[in-house]
Structure 1
Amino acid sequence: MLIDSHCHLDYPGLADRLPEVLARAAESGVGRMVTISTLVRHAATYRALAEAHPEVLFTVGTHPHQAGEEPDVTAAEIVELARHPRCVAIGEAGLDFHYDYAPRDVQERVFRTHIEAARASGLPLVIHAREADEAMIRILREEHGRGAFDAVLHCFSSTEALARAGVELGFYLSFSGILTFKGSAEIRRIAAEIVPRDRLLVETDAPYLAPVPHRGRTNEPAFVAETAKVLAATIGSTPAETAQLTTANFLRLFAKARPFVETHSASAAA
């Protein structure tokens, strides 16, 4: 079984055809997926998706693009929403200096709030980092020094420096369809040489970043199988072994998801 550790099922292109999207995921061996929060105030939407579909889990958090819309959400509010049984992580939160849709100081403040929520809840933090490696490394080291927390650097497409910092802090790295792109040799090298095997995850970030051979199409959880195939070749493994590896890694990081994934495994074996 594969798990899509990061997708956005509430987005146009997926929400409007969800039954067929979920059916194709199942046909491709994707047994579970995590729909990721971009706004805390939309928590009810993510919760409803997870409650209606047994293959779906969810998170609570504010994307850095939307940090300016929710600058004052508290860690306590996030933690309370994350108590739902199917909420398995905090985020996504972080820094995006490519678009700068929110002021950088606001992004940093909101990000630190989410780190506080991850510590308080014991849930892992889903980190978004784009063109902000130096600031990201500084914040992660500062905050980790104040108290450990678990995290994943999602859709990893950053520098070796950030990859090494994440590994040193005990974080996981998740690879998306970007791994399959012709121009992503450096990302594949990082996956093969820098990231320990027990810290690798796969994702789609659907509806964005469809992997080869689906580039140009709306991405969906079923396509995580293509990324897993490339990851397997990258690390010298087989697709089946990589599916087993990344699922085990997912369950180690997203421990709260274990009962829901084990339910699927038991059903499949029956």
Structure 2
Amino acid sequence: MLFDTHVHLNAQQFDEDREEVIKRAREAGVHYMVVVGFDRETIPLAIEIAESHEDIYAAVGWHPVDAIDMEESDLEWIEELSSHPKVVAIGEMGLDYHWDKSPVDVQKEVFRKQIRLAKKVNMPIIIHNREATQDIVDLLEEEDAKEVGGIMHCYSGSVEIAKKCVDMNFYISLGGPVTFKNAKKPKEVAEEIPLEQLLIETDCPFLAPHPNRGTRNEPSYVNLVAEKIAEIKGISIEEVAEKTTANAFDVFKIDR
């Protein structure tokens, strides 16, 4: 039994065959998923998908690339949705210095507001980080995000920073890149970070794992991530599946 902790089944890439994709995931042993909504368009569909499937949940937040578009009413809306029975986290949120749509100071302010909201409603947070590692860590420390903890989504940083994040009450989530031949850092993290602090994800439709790299990713492929972690750690895929699923239940506060 596998838990894909970060999917975008609400993306337009799945508009034609969403239910078939979910069926394939079930057949591959992926029984649990969290659909992440991150703006006005994707949040309602994330909720709708979660409401329609017993073992699918939703996360709601605001993506840093679009931070400049967020209004106070959007934050109030996210707070309102946080009480929905299928919403299990706030996010994805964070910093993204790769794209230049939203100024850094605006991204940081929106990030801070969402951390404070998560603390107010006592929910874990899902962190998006692209080329902004030190600022992410500094901000999490400044805002005492350890109080709620959460997930470093699709982690691609160093072992040293991963350990620091674990100390701040965050799980390290690995996705398709851990299977890439040239992905040194994710493999080091898979080796060094204890299984008790790891999660698995696809981030579908993005970052499909080897040997499907370059194609549309989907939740059924998360077993390839689990297989690679098992190989790196020298343990069974069953052990990886069991522990990462238990970790997901814990971080999302889902009753088993």
TM-score range, shorter chain: over 0.9
Tell me what 2:36 maps to: 36
What is the CA–CA distance in structure 2 between the aligned matches of 1:168 and 1:241, rounded to whole Å? 23
What is the CA–CA distance in structure 2 between the aligned matches of 1:40 and 1:116, rounded to whole Å? 20
Residue 247 of structure 1 aligns with an amino acid whose one-letter code is T
The 4+ residue runs of structure 1 with deviation greater than 6 A are none
Tell me what 1:265 maps to: none
Tell me what 1:67 maps to: 67
Is the counterpart of residue 188 in structure 1 residue 162 in structure 2? no
1:36–1:58: 8 Å Cα contact kept in structure 2?
yes
Tell me what 2:169 maps to: 170
Q: What displacement does 1:253 show? A: 0.5
Which 5+ residue runs of structure 2 have no aligned equivalent?
none
What is the CA–CA distance in structure 1 between the aligned matches of 2:101 and 2:43, rounded to whole Å? 21
Per-residue CA deviations over 1:121-149 (Å, capped at 9, x if unaligned) read 1111000011101111110111117x712
Tell me what 1:234 maps to: 232
Tell me what 1:267 maps to: none
Tell me what 1:252 maps to: 250
Which 5+ residue runs of structure 1 have no aligned equivalent?
263-270
SS of the counterpart of 1:13?
helix
What is the CA–CA distance in structure 1 between the aligned matches of 2:178 and 2:195, rounded to whole Å? 16
Tell me what 1:266 maps to: none
Residue 132 and residue 71 in structure 1: after superposition, are their counterparts in 2 closer, same or farther (change >3 A)?
farther
Q: CA RMSD in A?
A: 1.6
Deviates more, 1:182-191 or 1:20-29: 182-191
What is the CA–CA distance in structure 2 between the aligned matches of 1:149 and 1:242, rounded to whole Å? 25
Residue 120 of structure 1 aligns with an amino acid whose one-letter code is K
Residue 160 of structure 1 aligns with an amino acid whose one-letter code is V
Residue 217 of structure 1 aligns with an amino acid whose one-letter code is T
What is the CA–CA distance in structure 1 between the aligned matches of 2:21 and 2:33, rounded to whole Å? 11
What is the CA–CA distance in structure 2 between the aligned matches of 1:75 and 1:251, rounded to whole Å? 26
State TM-score, norm by structure 2: 0.95
Tell me what 1:144 maps to: 144
Residue 87 and residue 242 in structure 1: after superposition, are their counterparts in 2 closer, same or farther (change >3 A)?
same
Residue 46 of structure 2 aligns with an amino acid whose one-letter code is Y
Residue 143 of structure 2 aligns with an amino acid whose one-letter code is E
What is the CA–CA distance in structure 2 between the aligned matches of 1:153 and 1:186, rounded to whole Å? 14
Q: What displacement does 1:22 show? A: 0.7
Residue 199 and residue 40 in structure 1: after superposition, are their counterparts in 2 closer, same or farther (change >3 A)?
farther
Is the counterpart of residue 197 in structure 1 residue 173 in structure 2? no
Residue 226 and residue 42 in structure 1: after superposition, are their counterparts in 2 closer, same or farther (change >3 A)?
closer
What is the CA–CA distance in structure 1 between the aligned matches of 2:5 and 2:182, rounded to whole Å? 23
What is the CA–CA distance in structure 2 between the aligned matches of 1:236 and 1:185, rounded to whole Å? 17
2:157–2:185: 8 Å Cα contact kept in structure 1?
no
Tell me what 1:125 maps to: 125
Tell me what 2:97 maps to: 97
SS of the counterpart of 1:128?
strand
Residue 143 of structure 1 aligns with an amino acid whose one-letter code is E
What is the CA–CA distance in structure 2 between the aligned matches of 1:42 and 1:25, rounded to whole Å? 21
Q: What displacement does 1:63 show? A: 0.8
SS of the counterpart of 1:115?
helix
Q: What displacement does 1:186 show? A: 2.1
What is the CA–CA distance in structure 2 between the aligned matches of 1:213 and 1:73, rounded to whole Å? 43
Per-residue CA deviations over 1:86-132 (Å, capped at 9, x if unaligned) read 00100000001111321111111111111012111111100001110
State TM-score, norm by structure 1: 0.90
Tell me what 2:209 maps to: 211
Per-residue CA deviations over 1:28-81 (Å, capped at 9, x if unaligned) read 000011110111564322211111222321011001111111143565442211
1:130–1:158: 8 Å Cα contact kept in structure 2?
no
Q: What displacement does 1:15 show? A: 2.8
Number of residue pairs matched?
256
Q: What displacement does 1:161 show? A: 4.0
Residue 129 and residue 73 in structure 1: after superposition, are their counterparts in 2 closer, same or farther (change >3 A)?
farther
2:37–2:44: 8 Å Cα contact kept in structure 1?
no
